[in-house]
A and B are shown apart, each in its own frame.
Chain A
Amino acid sequence: MTGMAYSVWLPLFALFYVAVMLYWVRVATNEASAGDGFFSAGHALSPWISALFIAGASMSGWFVLGGSQQIAVQGFQMPALIVGGVLLALPGTLFFKRLWFVAERMRVSSQAEIFRVYYHSPFLVVVSVLVALLFALGFAGLQIRAIADFVELLTGGVVTRLTASVVLGFILFAGAGIGGMRAIGYFGVIQTVLAFTGIVVLSGFALIWSGGFAALNAGLLQLSATEGSAGLFTVDRVIRFTSGLGRGGELAEANTALANLSFAFALMGFQASPLVMKLVLSTRSPNGIAAGQTWVTAGFFGAIIAFCIALTGAAGLANRDLALTGLLGALQAGSPWFAAWIFIGIAAGVQLLAGLALFVAGEGLIRHIYRPYFHSRLSKERAVTLTRIAIAVLAVLAMLMENLTPVTLSALAALSLPLAFQLWTPLLGITWLPWITRSAAVTGVGFGIAGVILTEPFGYQVLSFFGLELPWGRWPWTIHSALWGMAANVAAVLIISAITNRDACGSEAKEIRKLFSGLLATSAKARTLRSTAWSVVLAWFFLAVGPGLIFGNWAFIAAGEDGPVWLLGMPSIWAWGLGAWVSGLGLIWFLSYKMEMASPVHVAIPPYEPPPRLKKDKAALEQERLRILVLTGAAGFALAVLIAFSFGG
């Protein structure tokens, strides 16, 4: 076969992908013309569409790009990755059902709006939008950069990274900007299917080229016997009191049980983010949540992570030539049709997340910040147009950052998951813990954000710019910023909730509490299982992602004559992770169905009728707000320049 014939497959498959996407954009816009639906698909997405999409977006391309690479480089030091499916599903199990009913009762369609009606807090609204922006620019941007790199690799440099990222940006805008939420939802199903197929086929090739499962593990066993490599297959200890990466701590030392636990918390930030909430609240019924979280996300996609992603990573660990880049390069040389198919799958996974993130960020900027605080008379049509413009601007910004400022991109990406995890406390306040007051939730999130930023490169680099050097680096004591932030967050929430009035809340919040204590109250049977549920959850966390991982180091290893023997024919910690995934699946099932946290409910929820209020003309106030914003921005900028000029550099 000629070189031309080899290089034609990727553009051909990409063309099909774009054609299919445009078809669904057309379907979505045709449906929208009959009625509203740009922002929330008319709340009419099928439960199975949402379940599949949520699973695909939760996994995104990150697990194959980042997860398999991490295993290929650092081995099985972070077994929390293997139970990623369970960790990703857990927040949805807790929150989705109740938040769906809140949205249904209050007739809202996004996380920011829920915060506004429940807490009346502009701060939480802004944080929700900021998290969406971080996902759009940082988290998704970093993945698109990686995808653009692969395009350059697969086309032998004919298509440069810059060109690839520009094309990917246009495709993203076409999908999210034109079609809106409906197009994102529809095409998301196909993207998810493509992504899962790509990952499965890729791991199949990794397995075949490694010589089969036994040969792969023989290679890993050989590697573990070499000097200095045993640590690749163990969790080092519970905690290591280092000052953090970049301040004396090294990456290789960050393989403790607490590193795993705190990383697990970061993963649990994704389904608390405004991105996934948008999807949930665009669904027509909550009755698919339990099945989606249990069988699709934790079960099916959990299996893909535990087996396929781990396998692809393990192949790269045993043989450096089979790391993701080498694997795709070899495929392109031998079977370009498979390389193109797999690549389109991985790219679809990334685009799935990136499109949703861009859409939610654009919507947040216009519908949740600009419209309510600066231009309340903005019509729905103009809001749609402005959102499209915002999405286009964000897509261009992301593309520029991907190519010009990769370090900033990386620093921003690192903030997205831990910051999203900080939204757990206000979400818990709405859904399960009504004693969390407005002040507590707001202060808690503020402290949480500070905790995250101060233990991430973004924070200490910004402070360093202003002349203030922090004595610690990234993730001090090998604890991920998500946990540092949450420690500060929870401390503030507990203290402030204890000293503030719990009954001082708006009529909407009272209405929501009434809904949960009345119509949606947990049954007596589930209430009797509460202590069991707590015990099971704590035990699972301890053993699967916490200090109990130390047992996993040696649980399936026996002493042989020629050295250690892997009893299950695979690294003990991997087997431990697989066991944790299976038990975690049981845990999600138990919480979803037996504890009724996500189980189907067949009740009709009438819309909330707020007490009649006089509508005031806010035009003058909004003008004033805009003026204050501009002045504050200008003063802040001047002050920042002055401080940097005086102390930093």
Chain B
Amino acid sequence: MSKPAMVERDLLVFSIWAVLGFGGLALILEGFSRDSYFVSLAGTAAIVTGFVAHIVVNALFDTGFRPGEAALGISAFGALALAFIGGWAVGGLSPTDYWSGLTLFAVLAFGLPAYLSTRYGLRGAFSRFHVRHADDGKPVA
């Protein structure tokens, strides 16, 4: 991909997350604050929409997630999971908060294989994780 195209793609990605990422986060927090499952669900929907939009942009520019983006996404997921588990451990979560968090993580966890299978196909998605020892130079049996 040419440099100008990469810049344009990055601008679109930043713009998407500036709206849907922060909007989703704000809605999830609002849902936790008001103890409203549906508001949290709207936040989860916003984040999922952000992912979908990101994937659409990737498809338009014929590319995938960049290593930095994947790292940031996994870190954010880990931080959110940690905060959720911490909240649950100290007993600061109401049942609605609990279900809101579980919904978010379930959707995100389901989203990863769904994304990989749409991008690489079911078998290809599996191959992303499965390390073939034949790659070290020995002939495949």
Asked if A44 is at the interface (CB within 8 A of a chain B CB), the reply is yes
Q: What are the residues of chain A within 8 A of B15 when measuring CB–CB?
A: 189-190, 193
B1-40 residues at the A interface, CB under 8 angstroms: 3-4, 7-8, 10-11, 14-15, 18-19, 22-23, 25-26, 29-30, 33
Is B8 in contact with A49, judged by CB distance below 8 angstroms? yes
Check B14–A190 contact: CB distance below 8 A: yes
Say yes or no: A201 contacts B8, CB within 8 Å.
no
Identify B7's interface contact among A16, A186, A337, A341, CB under 8 A.
Answer: A186
B29 touches A337 (CB 8 A): yes
Q: How far is the CA of A189 from the CA of B22 in the complex (A)?
A: 16
A79: min CB distance to chain B, Å: 30
Mask of A597-628 contacts with B, CB within 8 angstroms, 1/0:
00000000000000000000000000000000
Query: Is the pair A190, B23 in contact by a Cβ cutoff of 8 Å?
Result: no
Shortest beta-carbon distance from A203 to chain B in Å: 14
The reply to whether B30 and A189 form a contact with Cβ atoms under 8 Å apart is no
Query: Would you give the shortest CB distance from A9 to chain B, in whole angstroms?
Result: 8
**Structural contact, A337 and B11, CB atoms closer than 8 A:** no
User: Which residue from A1, A20, A44, A197 sits with its C-beta under 8 Å from B23?
Assistant: A197
Residues 10-32 of A contacting B (Cβ, < 8 Å)? 13, 16, 20, 27, 31
Complex-state Cα separation, A190 to B18, whole angstroms = 7
* A551 beta carbon closer than 8 Å to chain B: no
Restricting to B57-99, which residues have a CB under 8 Å from any CB of A? none
Cβ–Cβ contact B8 & A341, under 8 A: no
User: A16 CA to B25 CA in the complex, in Å?
Assistant: 14
Given A190-B14, A193-B15, A197-B19; A338-B30 close (CB under 8 Å) = yes
B4 touches A335 (CB 8 A): no
Chain B CB within 10 A, most for which of A13, A16, A48, A190: A190
Task: Output the least CB separation between B7 and chain A (Å).
Answer: 7
B11: contacting residue among A1, A190, A194, CB under 8 A: A190
Given A197-B23, A341-B23, also A46-B4 (CB < 8 A): yes
The answer to whether A189 touches B11 (Cβ under 8 A) is: yes
Contact yes or no, B26 A44, CB < 8 A: no
A337 vs B29: C-alpha distance in the bound complex, in angstroms? 8
Let me know if A341 and B22 touch, CB within 8 A. yes
Contacts of B8 in A (CB 8 A): 46, 48-49
Q: Are A201 and B33 closer than 8 Å at their CB atoms? A: no
Across the interface, do B26 and A335 meet the contact criterion of CB distance under 8 Å?
Answer: yes
Contact of A193 with B19 at beta-carbon distance under 8 Å, contacts A20-B14, A31-B3 already known: yes
Q: Identify the interface centre among A194, A197, A201, A337: most chain B CB within 10 Å of its CB.
A: A337
Known contacts A27-B7, A189-B15, A190-B15: A1-B22 contact under CB 8 Å: no
Mask of A321-342 contacts with B, CB within 8 angstroms, 1/0: 0000000000000010110010
Q: How far is the CA of A48 from the CA of B29 in the complex (A)?
A: 34
| Distance, CA A194 to CA B21, complexed state (A) | 12
Given contacts A20-B14, A186-B11, A190-B18, contact A337 B4 (CB under 8 A): no
CB distance from A8 to the nearest CB of B (A): 11
Nearest 7 A/B pairs, CB to CB: A193-B15, A337-B26, A337-B29, A197-B19, A189-B11, A338-B26, A190-B14
8 additional contacts, CB 8 Å, given A190-B11, A190-B18?
A: A27-B7, A46-B8, A49-B8, A189-B11, A189-B14, A190-B15, A337-B26, A337-B30
Query: Which B residues form the contact surface with A (CB < 8 A)?
Result: 3-4, 7-8, 10-11, 14-15, 18-19, 22-23, 25-26, 29-30, 33
Chain A residues with CB under 8 Å of chain B are 1, 13, 16, 20, 27, 31, 44, 46, 48-49, 186, 189-190, 193-194, 197, 201, 335, 337-338, 341
7 A–B pairs (Cβ distance < 8 Å), ordered by A? A48-B8, A49-B11, A186-B7, A186-B11, A190-B11, A193-B19, A201-B23
